[in-house]
Structure 1
Amino acid sequence: MWVQRVIELTGWEPLGIPVDWAAIEGELRTPLPADYKELYEAFGGGVFSDSLYFLGRDEGRAFDFLTQWRADLSVDQDSKYGDVSAVAPHRIYAPGGKGLVEWCSTEWADEYFWLIDAERPGEYPILARSHDIDTWHRYDMSTSEFLYRVLADAGFRPFGIAQYDLGTTFTPGSGDPLDGRPL
């Protein structure tokens, strides 16, 4: 229901991207939310309302979900940073463990993650933070409902962008604006 609402809100024609979910989820060693998979297949990676950077599949890699996760994990596990994590007090999800996986961010430094626990498949609370990186907000709703509320609900504080009247568009992530570097 929520995926369809996002599609209708943006006026997007679903792409029907074929995805090898077994390979992606095999690398993660955990399933991903079903509605995120629908969004991924419908949109790929790109930008909603000129400000929300949705990670899906992007051949240019700038909006590619797995590229971003691998980069986040690599930094989080790099011993030269000690035990410090960019997502403290959490960690980036490592296969088979518990941690955060980013699926969207904004031009205002908002970041949206799932808290994934491989021992609790099917539970995907969303943890979000704004530019105030010490304050985490938890949402027990689906990925597509959260995305819809960010785009359409001006009262969805502190993350709703409808109040800024940016429109509800989607632009595919082709063109590699970051020269292939993860966001």
Structure 2
Amino acid sequence: MTDLTALTRICPPPGQATGIRWDTIEAGLGMPLPQDYKQLADRYGPGTFNDYLHLFHPHGVTEFVNLTGPMPGRIRAQLRKDYNQGTHPVPYAPDTLFACGATDNGEYLFWITDPAADPERWRIAINEARGPRWFTYDGTLTAFLVSVLSGQIHVPQFPHSILDSPARFTPPHPTLWKPEAPSDTQPVDTAAIRSWARAHGYDVPPRGRIPPAIREAWERANRP
């Protein structure tokens, strides 16, 4: 039984497989992608596992979950800065880490892209959003999902409640969001926004105006 077959048994996909031009995607990224990920992304499409694990996808509905969007580059830049300055431990060379997912708590899932030309040998790494711990899984992304969702392994950074309900996959349901009028806008703690942004891999200036994209991401994440 393949890992994808095992995954579809414990977590049924939402519908028909999607069609993705992988040659175009890989050319745009400038690197090959693991075959298991391509099959996984084709079969499930964009979405979230157990309302917690968000996989980056070429058809991600926002830049924050789009594999070809700016997030992988932003996250790598932050890791490189942490690595060079010794701010937080990074157990792998940042240039070998490519973000392929995120969690509701702010952790990121990475491919360890070593060797670069052989994606079938890439492993998975998970950081801790607000701490120094890392977890490494010696296998593919699909095998990792099977192991987590079936309870075979527990990632220390993940809450045990992730398995409180049967495994499920939820496609995105984009909604039109309109900001409140300025007269209704409540004051916010910009220090809290900066702290949140750094924990989630954004390069935010220590003072001055917070970039609109970061402010919008914070508002989405903290909307009641």
For Structure 1 versus Structure 2, the TM-score category normalised by the shorter chain is: 0.7 to 0.9
Counterpart for residue 141 of structure 1:
139
**TM-score (ref. length: structure 1):** 0.75
1:55-134 correspondence to structure 2 within 5 Å = 55-58=56-59, 60-61=61-62, 62-67=64-69, 70-74=70-74, 76-77=76-77, 88=90, 90=92, 98-117=95-114, 119-122=116-119, 123-134=121-132
RMSD: 3.4
Query: How far apart are residue 164 of structure 1 and its match?
Result: 3.9
- Report the structure, 1 or 2, having the larger strand content: 1
Given that 2:124 and 2:136 are in contact with CA atoms closer than 8 Å, whether structure 1 keeps it comes out as: yes
Percent of residue pairs bearing the same amino acid type: 21
3-state secondary structure, aligned to 1:5: helix
Q: How many equivalent pairs are there?
A: 174
Larger Cα Rg: Structure 1 or Structure 2? Answer: 2
3-state secondary structure, aligned to 1:4: helix
Query: How far apart are residue 117 of structure 1 and its match?
Result: 3.8
Given that 2:149 and 2:163 are in contact with CA atoms closer than 8 Å, whether structure 1 keeps it comes out as: no
Given that 2:65 and 2:71 are in contact with CA atoms closer than 8 Å, whether structure 1 keeps it comes out as: no
d(CA) in 2 for partners of 1:125 and 1:76?
Answer: 17
d(CA) in 2 for partners of 1:74 and 1:125?
Answer: 21
d(CA) in 1 for partners of 2:165 and 2:34?
Answer: 28
d(CA) in 2 for partners of 1:91 and 1:167?
Answer: 36
Counterpart for residue 205 of structure 2:
none
Structure 1 residue runs of 5 or longer lacking an equivalent are 93-97
Amino acid at match of 1:64: N
Amino acid at match of 1:12: P
Is 1:165 aligned with 2:159?
Answer: no
Q: Deviations over 1:127-171 (max 9, x none)?
A: 112335422222211111101111111642424757641321111
d(CA) in 1 for partners of 2:118 and 2:27?
Answer: 13
Given that 1:47 and 1:173 are in contact with CA atoms closer than 8 Å, whether structure 2 keeps it comes out as: yes
Counterpart for residue 25 of structure 2:
24
Amino acid at match of 1:103: C
**TM-score (ref. length: structure 2):** 0.63
d(CA) in 2 for partners of 1:87 and 1:66?
Answer: 26
Given that 2:18 and 2:42 are in contact with CA atoms closer than 8 Å, whether structure 1 keeps it comes out as: yes
Query: How far apart are residue 72 of structure 1 and its match?
Result: 3.5
